[in-house]
């Protein structure tokens, strides 16, 4: 499997700017652009660390064949699922929807062949099969612990805007951040 590629960014953030301002005790609008940038950075960091999509966004994963089509970004949705492949003549094809289905096990979502169907033969190339899917959820469905961790991260960035501080206070993220995201980490990350 090649690295997943985001093909459509999320429209919403997992927490609102109003929630960020309340958490950071900011009651003016002058820093809104800065706080939104920190919110974007904190969200991107968490998605990278946990290897998940927090809010609804579209991803593509490329595989060298049909053997195991595991969708790694978590909370995959069956609507919008598209499977494309390069046939043995190296021509692009789209697999008809009834040929496959999305299943979920203890590890997460994957694409499986429908009963009575068979996978087509593919051309030998690292991106022989492409699966496009929607991952993530609505902002209100993001777990509260992950929202709290994002708020901690944004507040930390807002309060520590320089790379170095002159006092003895640590610049590391608060310990509570790791405790909040730990239950959501995938094995091996």
Query: Domain limits of the chain?
Result: 13-54+139-184, 57-135
Question: Element (H or E) spanning 17, and its range?
Answer: helix 17-24
Rounded-to-integer distance, Cα 156 and Cα 46, Å: 14
Which residue stretches of 130-184 are H helix? Answer: 144-159, 175-181
pLDDT for 154 equals 95
Task: Give the pLDDT confidence score for residue 85 in this predicted structure.
Answer: 97
Matching fold, domains 13-54+139-184 and 57-135? no
DSSP line for 71-91? ETTSS-EEEEEEEEEE-TTS-
CATH of domain 13-54+139-184: 1.10.3230
What pLDDT shows up at residue 188? 59
Q: Is the CATH number of domain 57-135 3.30.870?
A: no
pLDDT of residue 160: 83
Q: Quick check: 57 and 8 in contact, CB under 8 A?
A: yes
According to the model, what pLDDT value does residue 168 have? 55
| Residue 175: predicted pLDDT | 73
Instruction: With CA atoms as reference, report the closest residue to 57 among 133, 4, 131.
Output: 133
Cα separation, 49 vs 15, in Å, equals: 18
| Mean pLDDT by groups of 10 residues along the chain of 189 residues | 92 96 94 96 94 95 94 88 96 94 89 95 97 95 96 92 63 77 77
């Amino acid at each position: 499997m090649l690295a997943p590629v985001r093909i459509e960014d999320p429209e919403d953030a997992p927490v609102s700017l109003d929630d960020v301002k309340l958490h950071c005790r900011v009651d003016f609008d002058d820093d809104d652009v800065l706080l939104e940038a920190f919110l974007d950075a904190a969200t991107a960091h968490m998605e990278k660390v946990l290897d998940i999509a927090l809010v609804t966004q579209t991803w593509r994963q490329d595989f060298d064949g049909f053997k195991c089509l595991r969708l790694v970004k978590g909370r995959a949705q069956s609507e919008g699922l598209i499977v494309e492949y390069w046939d043995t003549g190296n021509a692009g094809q789209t697999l008809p929807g009834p040929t496959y289905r999305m299943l979920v096990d203890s590890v997460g979502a994957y694409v499986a062949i429908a009963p009575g169907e068979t996978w087509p033969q593919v051309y030998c190339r690292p991106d022989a099969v492409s699966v496009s899917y929607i991952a993530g959820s609505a902002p209100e469905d993001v777990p509260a612990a992950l929202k709290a961790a994002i708020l901690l991260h944004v507040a930390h960035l807002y309060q520590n805007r320089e790379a170095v501080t002159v006092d003895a206070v640590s610049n590391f993220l608060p310990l509570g951040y790791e405790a909040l995201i730990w239950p959501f980490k995938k094995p091996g990350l």
